[in-house]
Amino acid sequence: MTIQTMTLGYARMGKRRELKKALEAFWNDASDAESLLKTSRDIDVENWKTQLDGGIDCIGVGDRTLYDSVLDWTVRLGLIPPRFRGLQGLELYFAMARGQTGIPALEMTKWFDTNYHYLVPEIKADAEPQANFSDFLEIVRQSRSLLGERAVPIVLSPVTLLHLSRRKGKFEDDLAKLLPLYVDLLEQLKDLGITQVQLHDPIGVKSGVPDLQTAMTETYSRLTEVGLRIHLVSYFDDLGENYGWVTQLPVAAIGLDFTRGRNLELLQTQGFPADKQLGVGMVDARNVWKIRPSSVRATLEAIRTVTTNIYLHPSASLQFVPHDATQETKLPEPLRQVLSFARQKLEEVVLLSADDPETALAQIQRQWQAFEQFAPATPRVHERLRDLTVSDLERSLPYQQRRSHQPQLPAFPTTTIGSFPQTPEVRKLRLQLKRGEITQSEYEQRIDAEIAQCIELQEQVGLDVLVHGEFERTDMVEFFGQKLSGFAFTQHGWVQSYGSRCVRPPIIYGDITRTEPMTVREFEVARSLTSKIVKGMLTGPVTMLNWSFPRTDIPRREQAMQIALALRDEVADLEAAGAQIIQIDEPALREGLPLKSERWNEYLSWAVDAFRLAAAIAKPETQIHTHMCYCEFGDIIHQIERLDADVLSIENSRSNNETLFEITGAGYKHQVGNGIYDVHAPIVPSVEQMVQQLQTGVANLPTEQIWVNPDCGLKTRRWQEVIPALKNMVEAAKILREKP
């Protein structure tokens, strides 16, 4: 018998990022609200049609958003922080998303372990939420006119919403305020003729969430009374210790992710209630690869021995993958054939639901075989990894001993994080090169002119350690990926990162090797122009992995180690070219942490090893820097110590010195680059502000441990802001040096 199919949300930006363009036009006053809303609606309708034509039985609707769907629920529930009072409609919405003069936006943070960012709701203890679901109900109404019974509204569970919020009051009080509003929503959906809804409740996959059972039991008992079929949907990991009671909650169906974690094992050992339907999240919504026929076949068979009352869906919303792999006509055929973006994921769900999927599965199997023949396999990398010993991950001298061999600089040495403004002219150069309008050597000459200007400027400003400015880099991962073999790049593979921001992650499809030096040319150009020290700049192995779509048949550890080997060779080459300081950025190291804290150590152990493999080749005289931004260190500081970087630069200005306190509180002994000014705001901080920020640092760390720098790269800033800000920063450092 064919199995029913369902979707849990779809790629939202449009095939050609139409929503991005519409949003930016609206923000720049180049278009009006009506045309923005029309674009958003058109994309959604097109997505519905794609899913309908794709043969999906139950289509998740209501995930359309102008910025972020968590924000949408926050606004619908009337959870408006007092500072936004008085604003209305789109003005209110975008003020909460992006801030307004004098009114800071909501905080933004990562959605579970994805690269998607949501806006964090703020709920005061005395909040009196007043719901208005009219936009949602309108979307549902529209979807029903096209999809009829197939439309299944997607609702964010109040339990997940509250757990992701900044709250002041007691959890049960906040939940008690929200539940009647949700009951009301479900009633209104019922009045529209809706019979089933999805409640997305991914919080259930996190470990150690306090009182989760009470909150979810209370929630689903109340919501079930309305009389709709409730699909409780979880994703991104297994239900772990919550499996037993979650599967007993009073709902009609439970959706589980069978692509991550050990839900299959839980199902097999603990069973599944006969009166409920099981949603099988089998097609991986978090990567770009087609299903592996033998493994999905085995999983499905194993599930069927426990329950046959199932329906199939992607493992999560398809917002995490690009639209359509058939658009990638420039990729080699054997690779393209095994890629699966949102449209192909739909096809896979449908084919798995068919009575006899064997013919289709056999074809996918053949495509995988062709891919395996084609994908670069480099035995040499495997040999090198196999032959590694512990000493390959170890600097030749411990920190305290190598320190005196490294460059001696004034107290409070000043530097930057690497990138300088990427002006429209610089971006145009790359476009011209790509279009063949300028030759490679013309391109290099123009880049070198940028480097020269940047060096001169840094000398004028009086920085101690200079950088070349990263003008040749589009993006810190893409740049290296393009130079390494084993990475592929798409033309249209955009996924939403936040709001209108999209990223196009590279795809790791084979063994990773470096064919030639990647950064030495620009480093040498910069070095030849100054007598000051120029830092070599690299992106770390873990960040490259975490910001790509990795292969799923090779452990992430191994892919990180392969990248690390390539970087290790680059470190050696930079050193040979005269680099006394090399920075290896790892801003994405923390975000790779698994959702379950019991798996953190396993991840951190190889992630830190990968960094060490890249860095440890450096001679004791070479100072290794690393940079991380916008992350909390508290719980992982000891693993950060194990990186054994000589200098760790951090964001510290937005967190009000909290990041620094975490580090110093844990007794960190190496040097810390104190990120004393926020590069994301178009503001020039004063000397006094920076002196003050630094003084807090001095009070907490011995002077010898402190460096002075902005909190991240300056790529998105304009020169008019950068120059005075850096001047003030250098001035602030001087003032501190002169203090007794």
Query: Per the annotation, where are the binding residues?
Result: 20, 115, 417-419, 470, 501-502, 547, 585, 627, 629, 638, 651, 712
Output the smallest distance, CB 540 to ligand GLN, in A. 10
- Other beta carbons within 10 angstroms of residue 171's beta carbon come to 17
Q: Would you state the structure tokens that stand for residue 705, as one six-digit string?
A: 């441990």
Figure out which of the listed residues 335, 455, 461, 537 binds ligand GLN, where binding follows CB under 6 A.
537
Figure out which of the listed residues 203, 321, 417, 672 binds ligand GLN, where binding follows CB under 6 A.
417
In 3D space, the residue among 586, 588, 575 whose CA is nearest the CA of residue 536 turns out to be: 575
In 3D space, the residue among 578, 583, 581 whose CA is nearest the CA of residue 623 turns out to be: 581
If one asks whether residue 712 binds Zn ion (CB under 5 A), the answer comes out as yes
Cβ distance to ligand GLN smaller for residue 272 or 547: 547
Cβ distance to ligand GLN smaller for residue 177 or 627: 627
Nearest-angstrom CA–CA distance, 363 and 291: 11
Residues 628-647 that bind ligand GLN (CB under 6 A): 629
State the binding string over 518-557 for Zn ion (x if CB under 5 A, else -): ----------------------------------------
CA 272 to chain CA centroid, Å, is: 33
Sign of CA dihedral 569, 574, 579, 584: negative
Nearest-angstrom CA–CA distance, 558 and 384: 12
3-state secondary structure of 140: helix
Binding-site size for ligand GLN (CB under 6 A) equals: 13
Nearest-angstrom CA–CA distance, 106 and 83: 10
Figure out which of the listed residues 292, 627, 670, 717 binds ligand GLN, where binding follows CB under 6 A.
627
Place of tokens 């789109």: 90
Which partner, ligand GLN, Zn ion, none, binds residue 415 by CB below 5 to 8 Å per kind? none
The stretch near ligand GLN (CB under 6 A) out of 38-46, 300-308, 414-422, 599-607 is: 414-422
Cβ distance to ligand GLN smaller for residue 481 or 713: 713
If one asks whether residue 585 binds ligand GLN (CB under 6 A), the answer comes out as yes
21 residue type, one letter: K
Cβ distance to Zn ion smaller for residue 215 or 690: 690
Active site residue 680: yes
Sign of CA dihedral 454, 455, 458, 464: positive
Nearest-angstrom CA–CA distance, 280 and 307: 11
Long-range Cβ contacts of 298-304 (<8 Å, 24+ apart):
299/258, 299/264, 300/352, 302/264, 302/268, 303/258, 303/264, 303/267, 303/278
Figure out which of the listed residues 131, 393, 476, 542 binds ligand GLN, where binding follows CB under 6 A.
476
The one catalytic residue in 117, 163, 625, 680 is 680
If one asks whether residue 573 binds ligand GLN (CB under 6 A), the answer comes out as no
For 450, how many CA atoms within 13 A lie in the half-sphere containing its CB?
A: 26
Q: Are 710 and 417 within 8 A, CB to CB?
A: yes
Cβ distance to ligand GLN smaller for residue 26 or 707: 707
3-state secondary structure of 263: helix
Cβ distance to ligand GLN smaller for residue 238 or 470: 470
Nearest-angstrom CA–CA distance, 648 and 662: 13
Residue stretches of the annotated binding site for Zn(2+): 627, 629, 638, 651, 712
If one asks whether residue 584 binds Zn ion (CB under 5 A), the answer comes out as no
Cβ distance to ligand GLN smaller for residue 280 or 454: 454
Which partner, Zn ion, ligand GLN, none, binds residue 476 by CB below 5 to 8 Å per kind? ligand GLN
Output the smallest distance, CB 417 to Zn ion, in A. 6
Which partner, Zn ion, ligand GLN, none, binds residue 465 by CB below 5 to 8 Å per kind? none
Q: Are 6 and 256 within 8 A, CB to CB?
A: no
If one asks whether residue 587 binds ligand GLN (CB under 6 A), the answer comes out as yes
Which partner, Zn ion, ligand GLN, none, binds residue 364 by CB below 5 to 8 Å per kind? none
Output the smallest distance, CB 237 to Zn ion, in A. 27
Instruction: Name the burial class of residue 388, with classes exposed (0-12), middle (13-18) and buried (19+) by CB atoms within 10 angstroms of its CB.
Output: middle
Residue stretches of the annotated binding site for L-homocysteine: 417-419, 585
If one asks whether residue 466 binds ligand GLN (CB under 6 A), the answer comes out as no
Binding-site size for Zn ion (CB under 5 A) equals: 3
If one asks whether residue 710 binds Zn ion (CB under 5 A), the answer comes out as no
Which partner, ligand GLN, Zn ion, none, binds residue 314 by CB below 5 to 8 Å per kind? none
* Residues linked to residue 60 through DSSP beta bridges, in sequence order: 152
If one asks whether residue 713 binds ligand GLN (CB under 6 A), the answer comes out as yes
* 3 state SS for 672-728: EEEECCCCCCCCCCCHHHHHHHHHHHHHHCCHHHEEEECCCCCCCCCHHHHHHHHHH
Place of tokens 């880099």: 473
CB-based contacts of 308, cutoff 8 Å, min separation 6: none
CB-based contacts of 38, cutoff 8 Å, min separation 6: none
Cβ distance to Zn ion smaller for residue 12 or 117: 117
Task: Give the interface with Zn ion as residue ranges (CB under 5 A).
Answer: 587, 629, 712
Catalytic (active-site) positions: 680
Task: Give the interface with ligand GLN as residue ranges (CB under 6 A).
Answer: 417-419, 470, 476, 537, 585, 587, 627, 629, 712-713, 715
